[in-house]
Structure 1
Amino acid sequence: MEKLPFKTIDQHQDDIIDAFASLCGEREVMLDYLIDLGSALAPMELLYKTDNHLVQGCMSKVWLMEVEKEGLLFFQADSNTAITKGLISLLLKAVSGQSILAIAAAKFYFVEAIGISELIGWQRASGFSHMIKEIKLKALSRLAQSRHA
């Protein structure tokens, strides 16, 4: 089998699971890790921090936009809170630069595997599921556009 030149969504998810496993389930350490991930997220240009790019259903403000290049989707995102910024960073690590079809079909199993709901509470977990939904909707929308083109 030929080696892929990049990691798949599942390989990124496995990396996320491994990273969290190394934190030994210590809540404070895990939250600090999320905050660190968020602080390392590439800054989003101000022109994209508009209501058009706002993810609905999140307690915090989360902006998400995508650019398609040669059948691949690249995402930019930001949030006004540190932990939420870390959460969106996890998602972008898994999906940014992946094919539209792969994103549309992705099952985000890392969420349950790392116990995100227990870590961040039900309100943030609900917002996190809205982020996932928005990423999937963006991919599905692009897929539908390409089929009608």
Structure 2
Amino acid sequence: MTIKEIQEEIVDEFSMFDDWMQRYEYIIELGKNLPLIADQYKIEENLIKGCQSKVWVHAEEKNGSVVFTADSDAILTKGIIAILVRAFSNQSPKAILDADTDFIDAIGLKEHLSPTRANGLVSMIKQIKMYALAFQAKA
């Protein structure tokens, strides 16, 4: 699936919920199902700067695609990074760099987060794009 198709799938899933309490519960559920990052990658250099809670993102290149793993010490933040990992993992660096993040606004996520969490979300996206840029430069 393309990033756009995955993002549309996420938007469709969020549209099934009537209110934000249900959406928060869904985000938390997504976080619980996030494949865990290996402990060896829970290191300072994989921490996202600008996040209130601790968020680790690790990326590696496999067969021309960038594969992300992540974790957070905060349950809601873990759900947010789970959404981003789902949208961007197993895609080419170019596809990640070219992808927009309009789906975040389409599900209303940014407007329903505290300012510090919204900044953290922006920092997570920025880091994902930086990893893609690094892998593209290596290619």
TM superposition score normalised by structure 2: 0.97
Deviates more, 1:114-123 or 1:86-95: 114-123
Q: Distance in 2 between matches of 1:16 and 1:121?
A: 21
User: CA RMSD for the aligned pairs?
Assistant: 0.8
Residue 134 (1) aligns with residue 127 (2):
yes
Q: CA deviation at 1:82?
A: 0.4
Aligned residue among 110, 117, 122 for 2:115: 122
Aligned to 2:12: 18
Residue 81 (1) aligns with residue 102 (2):
no
Contact 2:96 2:132 in 1 (8 A): yes
Identity of aligned pairs, percent?
40
Residue 9 (1) aligns with residue 24 (2):
no
Aligned to 1:3: none
Runs of 4 or more, structure 1, over 2 Å off, are none
Flag the structure with larger Rg: 1
State the one-letter code of the partner of 1:34: I
Q: Distance in 1 between matches of 2:126 and 2:60?
A: 17
Contact 2:37 2:58 in 1 (8 A): no
Q: CA deviation at 1:135?
A: 0.2
Q: Could you list the per-position Cα deviations for residues 8-50 of structure 1 after superposition, in whole angstroms to 9, with x for gaps in the alignment?
A: 00000001110111012x1111110000000000111111101
Q: Distance in 2 between matches of 1:34 and 1:44?
A: 18
State the one-letter code of the partner of 1:47: Q
Aligned residue among 51, 54, 71 for 2:47: 54
Q: Distance in 2 between matches of 1:113 and 1:128?
A: 15
SS in 2 for 1:44: coil
TM superposition score normalised by structure 1: 0.91
